[in-house]
Amino acid sequence: MEKWITGMDLSTLLEVERCGGKFYDGGARRDAMDILKDYGMNMVRLRLWNDPFDEDGNSYGAGGNDIETTLALAKRAKEKGIGWLLDFHYSDFWADPGKQIPPKAWQGMNEDELTAAVYDYTAEVLQHCGKEDILPQMVAVGNELTNGLLWPYGRVPDFKNIVRFINAGIRAVHETAPGLPVMLHLDNGGNNALYRNWFDRYFAEGGEDFTYIGLSYYPFWHGTMEMLRENMNDIARRYGKDLIVAEVSMGHTMEDYKEYEKLPDAQRKGMATRKELAEKIAYQMTEQGQADFMRDILRLIREVPDGRGRGFFYWEPAWIPVPGSGWATEKACAYMGEKGPGGNEWANQALFDYDGNALPALEVIRGFAQNAGDDGETAGV
């Protein structure tokens, strides 16, 4: 039987550590990867940005995930017997439903040139991984592709170009690393109409085959858990694909972490889970509420028909609040055309408290991994 994926996105971990972040389990300081592996983690998800630096060579922040940073984390995971998912953003910084900005080096290209650039870049990265003996166990071609990629050409509703670009990435994976499974990942996991429309259009335009549908599910933005269940159950049958909740998280507190960031208010992003959002969900923003949420989401995934629910990746469980590790620098905001500010907006949704102590939700994750028959080895390694 294919292994259950107990995954964590640890893309900012090196930056957090450089900025002084420390992690503890039962009072003992340890490597965050070792702690998370002990709680069942068998894969890490690592994003890749093409050129996440400003004109002076300074990092845009948020982990600074260029190829060197991403492979350093991947190698560290491999040494611990942990596999990894390579998440191509095809951008120099964040790519999500609100922004899909071509890399600086690709700006000004037409559709044909972008198609070639996606293929060449994907192949070159995987060739580099192969030379370093660190091929991933899974590849996501694009990140949260809900509204397309490489705007403006690949923006919904232009599925002809969207499929051209995605196909180029998938072909590069299949031809460079045959047998490597590919994920296509959308956000808004509770929106069944969105998933039906997107994947129907994708296949109608001749989209290449792939292995996994990835879904993001954040209870503050993406509907009720019952909506997620209905969507996953439907698309599992409709498309015959295995499903992975590629991003998920839940808060453990609503206490501010300003004293940890040590930033003036004007430079703080503030927590994404604003009070008015937290009040609308069915779980308390407490350590117990986080644990309860994880128990329910893991059951939901395992109950997808025909065993199609294959696991999850918790998003940034180790992004604790430390001075210097934020969502974006001023130059990064300028690249994205956003006002900012930077700072950490995710710390209250980590699986460690603000001081780096492992939280009770990890016990739920470990117990579930054990009950799912996971022996702690890595899928595909």
Distance CA 132, CA 149 (A): 28
Q: Identify the active-site residue in 144, 208, 261, 316.
A: 144
Distance CA 84, CA 367 (A): 22
Q: Identify the active-site residue in 208, 247, 316, 345.
A: 247
Q: Judging by DSSP bridges, how do beta strands 43-48 and 28-29 pair with one another?
A: unpaired
Q: Are 203 and 129 in contact (CB under 8 A)?
A: no
In the chain, DSSP finds a helix count (H) and a strand count (E) of 12, 10
The helix (H) or strand (E) run that includes residue 48 is strand 43-48
Distance CA 112, CA 221 (A): 35
Output phi, psi for 242, to 5 deg: -70, 150
- Catalytic: 144? yes
On the question of a cis peptide bond just before residue 157, with omega within 30 degrees of 0, the verdict is yes
The helix (H) or strand (E) run that includes residue 118 is helix 111-131
Tracing tokens 């710390």 back to the chain, one arrives at 347
Environment class of residue 95 by beta-carbon count within 10 Å: exposed (0-12), middle (13-18) or buried (19+)? buried
- Catalytic: 247? yes
Catalytic residues: 144, 247
